């Protein structure tokens, strides 16, 4: 069985020292080993942004696509070969701005992949513009007078879109993060894990200390029941979305793949695609 | 007896025009006639004039006719809009309900048949289509048993009572009209057909079937006219073959899902029309850059923007060739017949995997939606070639990486699929080295660009052009693409009768342009006439750019939403010589 070291490669990340994304990379590697994966059976698909580089830093099959489209690419990978474990990952701009349409529909579709958002409330790669996750009043290069748009609450949207797995974590809490990613990988359906991942270079407001002060860890609420959707929504609203832990899980809903009529357990890419003469004749005869 | 005839049914959209056409042509197909259909419809579901025209012939046909022999009209508007097409002595069968009249100056016979009244008497006005098609059938003097057989097939599922009612509607319609006309019309008596039932399908069906035969097992797509039939066919069939269709949230999701699926080893495609293709452009660049195979169908319709969404046009040629930023390897194929719609999908999937690049299959609305007779499709021609796809790769040396983008003589590198133990690699739209890792090295950049684009130099496509060149040095070389070839051939018969010599090329490979194959024919022609359904002569520009001869190239352009007719081509050619 592979250890987390086998999910490492020799590429040195080009992230700034101190960037939250490093821990997320480590957590993915640990979680993959903990659930018993082999590197060749993992595919990591990422978007564009500082965070998007992550697919290149993990020893697994990786696809670094285009801005905002990690989710549809990852869903395509999974549909082609459901025997693979598929992780999609990218920034908050990637998933909640340009890719928001895909995010909502990936949630509704419930294909068995894990989506890890590296949420730094800002655009890192393009050097510090506002993101849908930026707080109102947040001053950036593109909002010199402070952001005047309301802050997006992606987890509330996820719940209302019918999400079957919603979690949130903080890149400093490697233990919690690793466990949640493992849970997400094991979940039979679409799992969304939003991770607060401070951008030390462009976001001087939402810093490590700021998160530590504002986060409400669900471990501190023993009576919390993650199968209760109404409670999940209420808690998210109460805490302004600052909850970490497993916020909601619905184990009863089947994944998309399991609901498609005639879909085999064997991945499409491992099947014989040559059509038989008998099948072909039957199809052709329908046009007579 | 005549060898061919044109029939048209007109009415309000949603009134049974489609089903009248379907039942009438299904029955004709049973007798072995060759059929070529044209649908005139608008972008709404109910209401608005719509008409379907069918050309019926004892020989293969690939064009709409200039004129019309029989018009069936559900309303006066259908007569007013279409009567001018009737040839002298033509026939109008119209619903007596609206007291039909012929416009002034139209030399035709009018047979008012109580179409709605008969249908109502039998219980539902839905049966108008049966009364109307039955009346048409009777006028042609065709055997009623054959028609009833088709009715039985259409309604068999709904039980004997329904079949009986419909057969009754047919009988009443035919009896009424025969009484008016005094028996079948002698001048419309068709020569008997060969009795061999042909395949009868639209281009979209043929492409969908072709994709299935090619091993396509996953199709993400977003609905659009005139492409939706492709996904609608495949969602019915793919589950039986272990595959599926996903209706995505948009075309960007459709193309990127297809790219992801191809990366993971499934044959996957998407299909759309101009607006959807516009949304896909960035992702097509990703496929080109990452050398990921993917097949995309573009069913052209009237642009720009929403344009004329239900009308004929061929104005996406430039967008398909040049679309996407940067420079990528890409293949653009344009089938020009139903058979080719089928076979080209197999070739498209093979080309995509062989050259590891996007392949766009471009049709036009008339080819995609016009229902036509089609020759038998040959199972033995379904050959799947997955190119340089490595299975069970050998173990790598310690620290050795799989070179997904290895520099090779022909630029084609080994491709390996996720799940393979010794093939782990990264794919990125960022410029990368042989192992797929990002690289900004100027030396590597140039080599990689040359590798990717160099694949285009070796592309081998069977029949990149179709040539019909009976003359060594013709007065005219006429060039067409997609659905317009049949129209050209009919015009050519008339031109040749007038003493003009003509050759005809249908361009099948639009990109990379088959200069070598095209040039000798261009060289020898006195004049080249390029026929296309757009305003800016996009195909002609490709010929000028790749072959030359700008001085002798003339364009015949039509961008009013309607396809070319043989007479238009004939007149335009006459004028230009
Ligand atoms: C279609 C397109 N538009 C714009 C860009 C430029 N761009 C690259 S990354 C990015 C946003 C980065 O922010 P985020 O997704 O939050 O990731 P981060 O860099 O913060 O990790 C933008 C706008 C692009 N690559 N593609
Ligand atoms: S700019 Fe911000 S997000 Fe990007 S690598 Fe640096 S710290 Fe991380």
The enclosing domain of B241 has a CATH number of 3.40.50.970
Tokens matching residue A149: 């748009």
* DSSP collapsed to 3 states, A95-164: HHHHCHHHHHHHHHHCCCCEEEEEECCEECCCCCEECCCCCCCCCECCECCCCCCCCCCHHHHHHHCCCC
- In this model, does residue A88 exceed pLDDT 90? yes
Closest by CA to B533, choosing from B359, B334, B302, B307, is: B302
Contact B212 A268 (CB under 8 A): no
**What is the distance between the alpha carbons of residues A79 and B465, in angstroms, rounded to a whole number?**
37
Distance CA A177, CA A193 (A): 9
CA–CA separation, B353 vs A73, rounded Å?
A: 18
Q: Of B382, B381, B36, B8, which Cα lies nearest the Cα of B201?
A: B36
Please name which of B385, B415, B414 lies closest in space to residue B262, comparing C-alpha atoms: B415
In degrees and rounded to multiples of 5, residue B415 shows phi and psi of: -110, 140
ipTM over 0.90: yes
Sheet holding B358-364, edge to edge: B244-247, B216-221, B267-272, B294-300, B358-364, B331-333, B509-511
Same domain, residue pair B242 and B362: yes
Domain count across chain B: 4
Of A38, A102, A287, the CB nearest to B253: A102
Tallying the residues shown for chain A, one arrives at: 288
**Residues B41, B379: Cα–Cα separation, whole Å:** 35
- Per the CB < 8 A criterion, the answer to whether B244 and B235 are in contact is yes
Write phi, then psi, for B105 (nearest 5 degrees). Answer: 85, 0
**3 state SS for A252-269:** CCCCHHHHCCCCCCCCHH
In the reported structure, the alpha carbon of residue A94 is separated from the centroid of ligand 1 by a whole-number distance in angstroms of 6
- B108-143 pLDDT per residue, tens: 999 999 999 999 999 888 899 999 999 999 999 999
Q: A79 CB less than 6 Å from ligand 2?
A: no
From chain A, the residues in CB contact with B268 under 8 A are: 76, 80
Same structural domain for residues B183 and B269? Answer: no
Tell me: do B182 and B260 sit in the same domain.
no
Q: Which contiguous run of DSSP H or E holds residue B108? A: strand B108-113
Provide the number of structural domains found in chain A.
1
What size, in residues, is chain B?
Answer: 577
Which residues on chain B are in Cβ contact (under 8 Å) with A43?
264, 418
- Cα–Cα nearest to B429, from A61, A65, A91: A65
Residues 6+ apart with CB under 8 A from B464: B507, B508, B509, B514, B517
- What is the rounded CA–CA span in Å between residue B363 and residue B316? 10
A69 Cβ below 6 A of ligand 1: no
**Integer Cα distance of B333 and B445 in angstroms:** 29
The interaxial angle of helices B144-155 and B160-181, nearest 10 deg, is 150
Q: pLDDT confidence of A93, banded at 50, 70, 90?
A: very high
Per-residue pLDDT at B41: 83
B298/B47 Cα distance (integer angstroms): 28
Span A136-150, mean pLDDT?
97
Q: 3-state class of B160 per DSSP?
A: helix
Q: Are the C-beta atoms of residues B238 and B211 closer than 8 Å to each other?
A: no
Q: In the prediction, which pLDDT does A267 show?
A: 98
Q: Is the minimum distance from the CB of A199 to ligand 2 under 6 angstroms?
A: yes
Structural tokens at position B291: 């050398």
Q: Which residues contact A284 (CB under 8 A, 6 or more apart)?
A: B199, B209, B376, B377
pLDDT tens digits along B412-459: 999 999 999 999 999 999 999 999 999 999 999 999 999 999 999 989
Q: Are residues B346 and B444 in the same domain?
A: no
Could you tell me if the CB of A126 is within 6 A of ligand 1?
yes
The reported pTM is: 0.97
Here the CATH number for the domain that contains residue A270 is: 3.40.50.970
Q: Do residue B469 and residue B512 come from a single domain?
A: yes
First to last CA, chain B: 36
Cα(B289)–Cα(A254) distance, rounded to whole angstroms?
36
Report the largest interatomic distance among the alpha carbons of chain B, rounded to a whole angstrom: 91
Mutation to test the A interface, candidates B25, B253, B281, B387, most A Cβ within 10 Å: B253
CB of A19 closer than 6 angstroms to any ligand 2 atom: yes
* Residue A230 to residues A106, A235, B111, B448, B504, Cα–Cα distance (Å): 21, 9, 69, 54, 70
User: Looking at the DSSP assignment, which residues form a beta bridge with residue B457?
Assistant: none
Which of B256, B264, B438 minimises the CB distance to A43? B264
For the beta sheet containing B476-480, the strands, ordered from the edge strand earlier in sequence to the opposite edge, are: B465-468, B502-507, B476-480, B527-532, B553-557
User: Which residue, of B197, B230, B255, is where some domain finishes?
Assistant: B197
DSSP B101: -
- What SS3 state is found at A283? helix
User: Phi then psi for B209, rounded to 5 degrees?
Assistant: -65, -40
Residues B147 and B181 in one domain: yes
End position of a domain, from candidates B444, B460, B476:
B460
Query: Which parts of chain B sit beneath pLDDT 70?
Result: none
Exposure string over B475-490, b if 16+ CB within 10 A, otherwise e: bbbbbbbbbbbbbbbb
For A1, the token pair is: 């069985």
Residue ranges making up the domain that contains A207: 4-285
Ligand 2 contact via A118 beta carbon (within 6 Å): no
Both B372 and B395 in one domain: the answer is no
Q: Which A residues, 121 through 150, put their C-beta within 8 Å of a C-beta on chain B? A: none
CB-CB: which of B197, B199, B261 is closest to A79? Answer: B261
Minimal CA–CA distance to A159: which of A135, A190, A133? A190
With an 8 Å Cβ cutoff, are A109 and B290 in contact? no
User: pLDDT value at position B97?
Assistant: 96
Range of the domain at B288: 201-381
Classify residue B95 by its DSSP letter. Answer: E
Is the domain of B488 the same as that of B548? yes
Q: Are residues B475 and B455 in the same domain?
A: no
Between B249, B260, B268, which is nearest A101 by CB? Answer: B249
DSSP letters, B190-212, are BPP---PPPEEE-HHHHHHHHHH
Is residue B362 a contact partner of residue B317, using CB atoms and an 8 Å limit? yes
- B198 touching A (Cβ < 8 Å): yes
Residues 6+ apart with CB under 8 A from B294: B255, B258, B259, B262, B268, B269, B270, B284, B287, B352, B358, B359
Pocket test residue of A12, A13, A16, A141 for ligand 2, highest count of atoms within 8 A of CB: A16
Contact residues, A window 212-271, toward B, CB-based 8 Å cutoff: 260-264, 266-271
Per-residue pLDDT, averaged over A56-82, amounts to 98
Q: Report long-range pairs for B408-414 (Cβ below 8 Å, ≥24 apart).
A: B408/B451, B410/B454, B410/B455, B410/B458, B411/B450, B411/B451, B411/B452, B411/B454, B411/B455, B411/B458, B412/B354, B412/B355, B412/B356, B412/B387, B412/B388, B412/B455, B413/B291, B413/B356, B413/B388, B413/B451, B414/B388, B414/B389, B414/B390
Q: Which one of the ligands is nearest to A23 CA?
A: 2
Mutate to test the interface with B, among A80, A82, A86, A109 (most CBs of B within 10 A): A80
Instruction: Answer yes or no: is the C-beta of A50 below 6 A from any ligand 2 atom.
Output: yes
Q: Which domain CATH number covers B70?
A: 3.40.920.10
| Nearest alpha carbon to residue A191 among A254, A114, A96 | A114
Q: Are residues B161 and B108 in the same domain?
A: yes
Distance CA B243, CA B530 (A): 41
Pairing of strands B4-12, B68-73: parallel
Parallel, antiparallel, or unpaired for β A191-196 and A85-91? unpaired
CA distance B154 to B127: 13
Helix/strand/coil (H/E/C) assignment for every residue in A4-48 = HHHHECCCCCCCCCCCCHHHHHHHHHHHHHHCCCCHHHEEEEECC
Average pLDDT, chain A: 98
What percent of chain B is modeled with pLDDT above 70? Answer: 100
Strands B372-374 and B199-201: antiparallel
Q: Which 104-123 residues of chain A touch chain B by CB within 8 A?
A: 104-105, 109
| Sheet containing strand A216-217, strands side by side | A216-217, A243-249, A165-170, A191-196, A114-119, A85-91, A42-46, A61-64, B426-428
Instruction: Please give the Cα distance from B490 to B476 (Å, whole number).
Output: 15
**B335, B361, B381 — which closes off a domain?**
B381
Handedness of CA B425, B429, B434, B438 (dihedral sign): negative
Contact yes or no for A48/A125 (Cβ under 8 A)? yes
Ligand 1: residue of A22, A93, A196 to mutate (most ligand atoms within 8 A of CB) is: A93
B178-187 LR contacts (CB < 8 Å, sep 24+)? B178/B138, B178/B139, B180/B111, B180/B112, B180/B113, B181/B109, B181/B111, B181/B139, B183/B141, B184/B138, B184/B139, B184/B140, B184/B141, B185/B91, B185/B139, B185/B140, B185/B141, B187/B2, B187/B89
Q: What is the pLDDT of residue A121?
A: 98
Q: Could you give the count of Cα atoms lying within 13 Å of B532 in the half-sphere of its Cβ?
A: 28
Tens of pLDDT, residue by residue over B187-220, are 999 999 999 999 999 999 999 999 999 999 999 9
Helix pair A277-285, B203-213: axis angle to 10 deg: 170
Whether B451 and B472 share a structural domain: no
pLDDT at B398: 83
Which pair of structure tokens corresponds to residue B328?
């990528």
**Which B positions 22-41 lie with beta carbon below 8 A of chain A?**
29
Contact in structure between B539 and B507 (CB atoms under 8 Å): yes
Nearest to B282 by CA among A83, A69, A141, A121: A69
Q: Are residues B282 and B421 both part of a single domain?
A: no
Which of A273, A274, A275, A283 is best to mutate for the B interface (most B CBs within 10 A)? A273
């Amino acid at each position: 069985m592979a250890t987390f070291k086998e999910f490492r490669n020799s590429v040195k990340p080009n992230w700034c020292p101190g960037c939250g994304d490093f821990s997320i990379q480590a957590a993915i590697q640990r979680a993959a080993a903990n659930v018993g994966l082999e590197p060749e059976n993992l595919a990591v698909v990422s978007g564009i942004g500082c965070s998007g580089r992550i697919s290149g830093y993990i020893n697994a099959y990786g696809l670094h696509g285009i801005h905002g489209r990690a989710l549809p690419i990852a869903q395509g990978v999974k549909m082609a070969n459901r025997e693979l474990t598929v992780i999609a990952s990218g920034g908050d701009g990637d998933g909640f701005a340009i890719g928001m349409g895909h995010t909502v529909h990936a949630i509704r579709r419930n294909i068995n992949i894990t989506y890890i958002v590296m949420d730094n409330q800002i655009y890192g790669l393009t050097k510090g513009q506002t993101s849908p996750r930026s707080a109102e009043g947040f001053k950036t290069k593109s909002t010199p007078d402070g952001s005047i748009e309301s802050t997006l609450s992606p987890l509330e949207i996820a719940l209302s879109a019918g999400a079957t797995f919603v979690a949130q974590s903080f890149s400093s809490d490697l233990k919690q993060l690793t466990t949640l990613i493992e849970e997400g990988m094991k979940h039979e359906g679409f799992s969304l894990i939003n991770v607060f991942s401070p951008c030390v270079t462009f976001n001087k407001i939402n810093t490590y200390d700021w998160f530590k002060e504002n986060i409400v860890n669900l471990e501190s609420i023993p009576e919390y029941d993650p199968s209760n959707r109404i409670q999940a929504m209420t808690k998210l609203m109460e805490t302004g979305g600052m909850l970490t832990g497993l916020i909601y899980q619905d184990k009863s809903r089947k994944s998309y793949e399991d609901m498609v009529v005639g879909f085999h357990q064997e991945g499409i890419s491992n099947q014989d695609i040559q059509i038989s003469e008998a099948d072909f004749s039957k199809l052709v005869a329908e046009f007579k | 007896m005549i060898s061919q005839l044109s029939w048209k049914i007109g009415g309000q959209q949603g009134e049974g025009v489609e089903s009248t056409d379907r039942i009438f042509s299904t029955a004709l197909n049973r007798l072995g006639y060759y059929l070529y259909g044209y649908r005139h419809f608008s972008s709404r579901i109910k209401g608005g004039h719509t008409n379907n025209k069918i050309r019926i012939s004892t020989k293969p046909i690939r064009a709409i006719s200039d004129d019309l022999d029989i018009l069936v009209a559900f309303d006066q508007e259908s007569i007013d809009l279409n009567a001018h097409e009737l040839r002298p002595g033509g026939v109008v069968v119209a619903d007596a309900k609206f007291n039909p009249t012929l416009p002034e100056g139209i030399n035709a016979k009018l047979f008012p048949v109580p179409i709605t009244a008969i249908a109502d008497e039998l219980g539902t006005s839905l049966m108008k289509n049966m009364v109307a098609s039955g009346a048409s059938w009777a006028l042609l003097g065709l055997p009623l048993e054959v028609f009833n057989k088709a009715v039985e097939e259409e309604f068999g599922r709904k039980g004997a009572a329904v079949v009986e009612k419909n057969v009754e509607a047919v009988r009443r319609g035919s009896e009424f009209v025969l009484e008016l006309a005094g028996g079948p019309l002698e001048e419309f008596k068709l020569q008997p057909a060969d009795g061999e039932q042909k395949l009868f399908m639209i281009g979209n069906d043929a492409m969908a079937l072709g994709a299935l035969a090619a091993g396509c097992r996953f199709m993400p797509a977003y609905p659009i006219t005139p492409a939706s039939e492709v996904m609608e066919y495949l969602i019915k069939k793919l589950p039986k073959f272990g595959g599926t269709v996903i209706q995505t949230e948009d075309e960007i999701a459709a193309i990127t899902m297809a790219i992801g699926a191809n990366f993971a080893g499934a044959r996957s495609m998407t299909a759309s029309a101009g607006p959807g293709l516009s949304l896909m452009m960035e992702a097509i660049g990703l496929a080109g850059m990452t050398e990921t195979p993917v097949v995309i169908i573009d069913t052209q319709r009237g642009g720009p923007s929403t344009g004329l969404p239900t009308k004929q046009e061929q104005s996406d040629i430039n967008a398909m060739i040049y679309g996407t930023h940067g420079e990528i390897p890409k293949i653009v194929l344009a089938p020009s017949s139903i058979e080719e719609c089928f076979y080209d999908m197999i070739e498209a999937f093979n080309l995509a995997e062989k050259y590891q690049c996007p392949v766009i299959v471009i049709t036009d609305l008339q080819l995609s939606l016009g229902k036509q007779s089609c020759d038998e499709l040959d199972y033995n021609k379904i050959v799947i070639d997955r190119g340089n796809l490595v299975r069970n790769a050998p173990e790598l040396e310690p620290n050795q990486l799989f070179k997904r983008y290895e520099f090779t003589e022909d630029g084609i590198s080994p491709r390996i699929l996720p799940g393979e133990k010794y093939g782990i690699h990264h794919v990125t739209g960022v410029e990368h080295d042989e192992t797929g890792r990002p690289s900004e090295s100027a030396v590597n950049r140039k080599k990689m660009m040359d590798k990717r684009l160099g694949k285009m130099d070796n592309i081998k496509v069977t029949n990149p052009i179709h040539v019909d060149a009976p003359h060594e040095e013709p007065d005219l070389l006429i060039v067409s693409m997609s659905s317009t070839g049949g129209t050209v051939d009919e015009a050519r018969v008339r031109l040749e009768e007038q003493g003009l010599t003509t050759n005809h090329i249908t361009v099948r490979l639009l990109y990379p342009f088959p200069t070598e194959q095209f040039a000798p024919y261009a060289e020898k022609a006195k004049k080249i006439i390029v026929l296309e359904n757009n305003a800016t002569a996009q195909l002609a520009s490709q010929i000028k750019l790749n072959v030359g001869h700008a001085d002798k190239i003339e364009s015949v352009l039509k961008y009013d939403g309607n396809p070319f007719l043989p007479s238009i081509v004939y007149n335009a050619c006459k004028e230009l010589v």
